[in-house]
Structure 1
Amino acid sequence: MTSAITAPTYDPTTTATALAQKYTASAQERITNGTTQATATTKALSTLSSAISAFQSSLASLAGLGKSVLSQSATLSDTTVGSASAKASASAGTYSLFVQQIATAGQVSYNGLSDGAATGGTLKVKLSDESNASATPVSFDVDLSAASADTDGDGKLSIRELASAINRSSGNTGLVSAGVVTIGSETRLVLTSQNTGVANTISLDPSGVGDATLQSGLGNRTMVTAAQDAVVLLGGKSGTPIQQSSNTFTNIDGVSMTFTRAQAASENPFTLTVASNSSGTVSNMQSFVDAYNKLKSAIDTLVDPGDTTASKAAGAFANDSGVKALQSRLVSMLRPSSGLSLASYGITANRDGTLALDSTRLTKQLAASPTGLSGLIGSASTSAPSGLAGSMNTYLNLWSNSTSGQIKQRTDANTKAQTDLTKRQSDLDTQYNSAYARYLKQFTDLQTLQSTMNSNVTMFDALFGSDKS
């Protein structure tokens, strides 16, 4: 007798997994696709934000408030006395100058001091113009108490501990640097002002110091380097003196000069020449072209429709009308409706829409119309936008504004979508687990029933088989 029941063999776990997956497959596909799209959007928005930010930073650097793409140069006829630079706002001109003296920091020493002074009291450090009785000194107090100054805890004050206490004083906000110099067997406390100028002459008032010997020693100052102002004569040796505490002079509008040495009486005055700098302007415009091309390249990649025949995927914003409008608007803003154009200054569009600069043509047009380019590019200042830079920066702010811009709005919406997808995935996981448990129980029960029936068949076969008498 043969078995009357032939049932397929199967694994309940594998079967339950397959059926649960099939049960949730459609919803899982939608969530997976949505998550993939949201992740791609996050990356694309970050790329767009970075590209716009970089371009706006470049605009601010080239044509921000008080700046111009036009470059001016400042040249000293004698470069051994210092260096000079000019902003775009500097007016062309020549100036005769003579450096009578440069500004120096004051340095003093207190000699013959010895370790072992008793702690306690207060030392006052002063900086002032001692030649001007009416000048108000700048000062700070140094606490010489044991807790503050006695760093090794031996109950006495060494010269090095005194120097450290001066440097660490809360009132010493970058005013004075204290050090210790040993010459032979003599230890000296050396104080140096951190700023130049006659008003930084250093002196000590030790009247509040507790130790009498230390008080006496700190009352004897040796001048190492006299603090002095810089003096530059405008108009030559007999010109008008310009005196100040710093060696960097900005008295001529738009020009900065830093002097490193004084001239000898036998030397001749030198000349400062301020003039337009064509090469600098060319460099500025090349920076503008490069910055625009980087922005355009980033946007073009994001809206690229792709090419299925070449297995080239579409950009994340290939079907986004808003980003495509951004792409078109930037191109249109490069073409002013009237007046001079970028093309007249040698800036033209390539076939792919990127910009190219003809430096020879730019230099030639600058000679013919030196101020036209400045008016064409204008200012990217938020408070007073003008020209091409102002228009582009204002429009891009609609995207980059951190509170209400398009990127912020899109990022918020995408974040919400990702949160919703996460919740939907959690809910679907619960559905999957429930379906899996249900199928597993059903097919485990079925497997048990099948095993029982097969066992009965085997028993019947043994009892009533054809070979039995």
Structure 2
Amino acid sequence: MATTAPTFDPKSTATNLAQLYVEGRQKILTTQSNSASAVASALTKLSSAMSTFRSTLSALSGQSSVLANKASFSAEVGTATASASAAPGNYQFYVEQLATAGQVSYNGISNTAAATAGNMIVTLADGSNFTVTLASADKNLDGTLTAKEIAAAINVEAGNNARVTASTMTVAGQTRLVLTSSKTGADNGVVGIDTSQITDPGLAAELDGANQTVLQTAKDAVVWIGAQGGDPANRLQQASNTFNVIDGVSMTFTKAQAPLENPVALTVGRDDAATATNVQNFVDSWNKLLAVFKEVSAAGDPASGKAAGIYANDAGLSALKGRMQELLRTETGGSSLVAYGIAAQRDGTLALDKTRLGKALTANPDGLDAIFGKSGANATGVLGGLDGLLNSWTKAGTGQLATRKDSNVRLQATLATRQAALETQYDNAYKRYLAQFTQLQSLQSQMNGTTSMFDALFSKSDS
């Protein structure tokens, strides 16, 4: 009785055997590559978190003080802001007149001026002027100039330098060319248009001063320190509605008062709510950085299947966190951040007690700035210490993060080379096995044919 040899597919057999050939080394490489990728991801998170935290330190240092002040009027005549350097105080102001931007119009523009109409010269109240070349204003090349084309030419003229904005209006079927000063103040107003270089008589007449209507007169702001009509030395006049006559205080007036009305009071004082916001920004930024530290250095929990962070046992990161906590306890003048309501919790995060902060600011408002200090070249206090410490990690090229990134990049390059070599070994093994089992399949086919021939012969003999 004939025996049939088992059949097989050379390609699938070669694939399985080649995979078995590299399987052990591939597992090792995969584990190492995944670890290197996790390190790269963790370093990116650390770098971003540390940079964000340092930006917060820099922002606090960039202010003249962590403390904040506020300024407010007793009536709705405008708004005021006070920097941290502003001294507390009370002031009186009377708003006689607001600064306005000048606006004039030229009525009955015919929209039929010749494109070769020459030049127009726009003159301002301060004596300056600029020339608009009308020859280039005909954008649709129809040989005539419209009010819109003239307005566009004024707006794009380099000599204008955005001092005047031109536009058009249509009133009762007539087109108007409107010129508006971009800045407030009497000297910034539009006086008129010099038509001496305009060659089209009709356009020259339309832009003549006799055809000009003043829609709004350009005026300076007039504000009195104290009551209206007092000492002339207390009369303030300028082109802008924003005044900076008090050190550290900016006032922008938006409403003029009635004649001889009582002056309004401006109060400058401490803003505990804004100060608390500044401190809260520091606390929040610290907690966000700590959350990233916790993520990348988590111990893991085998019972729940929670994987450990890639830096679970990293001594350098652990030392950094410890040193940051030490700097947080820095004392200046016998006091620390704890006295101002900034306290560490059991998990290392910070919490702000605003009530305690307010009491401490009342007792010693200057103490908070002294404790926080400044980051940067002349580093002092908590901010300076933390910034210097984190700089040793984030500094380009030589910092801890840069060193670790470079090392991990080299490792990933090595792993990529080893992976390529292993894939070559796989390909060679596959080709070798494929050739062997293809040959074996051929031999098997020949043997099956011979066996079938013998089976046929013996079957005839038996009969």
Q: One fold, TM greater than 0.5?
A: yes
Q: Which residue of 2 aligns with 1:301?
A: 295
Any conservation in 1 of the 2:61–2:373 contact (CA below 8 Å)? no
Q: Which residue of 1 aligns with 2:61?
A: 64
Q: Is 1:342 matched up with 2:333?
A: no
Q: Match of 1:414, as an amino acid?
A: N
Q: Which residue of 1 aligns with 2:442?
A: 448
Question: Which digits, 9 at most, give the CA deviation of each residue in 1:2-34, with x for residues without a partner?
Answer: 54xx64433211221112112222332233223
Distance 1:241 1:26 in 2: 89
Report 1:102-113 matches (<5 A).
102-113=98-109
Q: Percent identity?
A: 47
Q: CA deviation at 1:442?
A: 0.5
Q: Is 1:158 matched up with 2:146?
A: yes
2:197 to 208, 217, 221: 208
Distance 1:158 1:205 in 2: 19
Any conservation in 2 of the 1:230–1:245 contact (CA below 8 Å)? yes
Distance 1:374 1:236, change over 3 A: farther
Distance 1:451 1:186 in 2: 101
Distance 1:315 1:294 in 2: 17
Q: CA deviation at 1:335?
A: 1.0
Q: Is 1:398 matched up with 2:386?
A: no
Question: Which digits, 9 at most, give the CA deviation of each residue in 1:130-168, with x for residues without a partner?
Answer: xxxxxx52x3332211xx211232201111211122123
Moved more, 84-93 or 319-328: 319-328
Distance 2:335 2:124 in 1: 58
- CA RMSD across the alignment: 2.2
Q: Which residue of 1 aligns with 2:425?
A: 431
Question: Which digits, 9 at most, give the CA deviation of each residue in 1:262-301, with x for residues without a partner?
Answer: 2222211111111112222222222221121111111111
Q: CA deviation at 1:438?
A: 0.9
Distance 1:395 1:128, change over 3 A: farther
Distance 1:442 1:328, change over 3 A: same
Any conservation in 1 of the 2:330–2:381 contact (CA below 8 Å)? no
Question: Which digits, 9 at most, give the CA deviation of each residue in 1:169-216, with x for residues without a partner?
Answer: 233332211111233243221100111112211132232223122123
Q: Match of 1:212, as an amino acid?
A: P
The ranges of structure 1 where at least 4 consecutive aligned residues each deviate by more than 4 angstroms after the TM superposition are: 464-467
Q: Which residue of 1 aligns with 2:347?
A: 352
Q: CA deviation at 1:466?
A: 10
> What is the TM-score with the length of structure 2 in the denominator?
0.92
Distance 1:55 1:442, change over 3 A: same
Question: Which digits, 9 at most, give the CA deviation of each residue in 1:212-262, with x for residues without a partner?
Answer: 221233231332212122222223322512322221122212111111012
Distance 1:460 1:234, change over 3 A: same
SS of the equivalent of 2:11 reads: helix
> Where in structure 2 are there 5+ consecutive unaligned residues?
none
Report 1:210-359 matches (<5 A).
210-220=199-209, 221-237=212-228, 238-239=230-231, 240-337=234-331, 339-359=334-354
Question: Which digits, 9 at most, give the CA deviation of each residue in 1:323-376, with x for residues without a partner?
Answer: 223222222211115521111111111111111111111111111111101111
2:115 to 94, 116, 119: 119
Q: Is 1:39 matched up with 2:37?
A: yes
SS of the equivalent of 2:108 reads: strand
Any conservation in 2 of the 1:66–1:89 contact (CA below 8 Å)? no
Any conservation in 2 of the 1:300–1:327 contact (CA below 8 Å)? no
Aligned length in residues: 455
Question: Which digits, 9 at most, give the CA deviation of each residue in 1:62-111, with x for residues without a partner?
Answer: x1324322111112111x10011111111111111111221111111123
Distance 1:405 1:234, change over 3 A: farther
Distance 2:25 2:125 in 1: 80
Q: CA deviation at 1:124?
A: 2.4
Q: Which residue of 1 aligns with 2:94?
A: 98
SS of the equivalent of 1:411 reads: helix
Q: Match of 1:119, as an amino acid?
A: A
1:178 to 149, 152, 166: 166
Distance 2:415 2:221 in 1: 69
Q: Match of 1:113, as an amino acid?
A: I
> What is the TM-score with the length of structure 1 in the denominator?
0.90
Q: Which residue of 2 aligns with 1:373?
A: 368
Q: CA deviation at 1:467?
A: 6.5
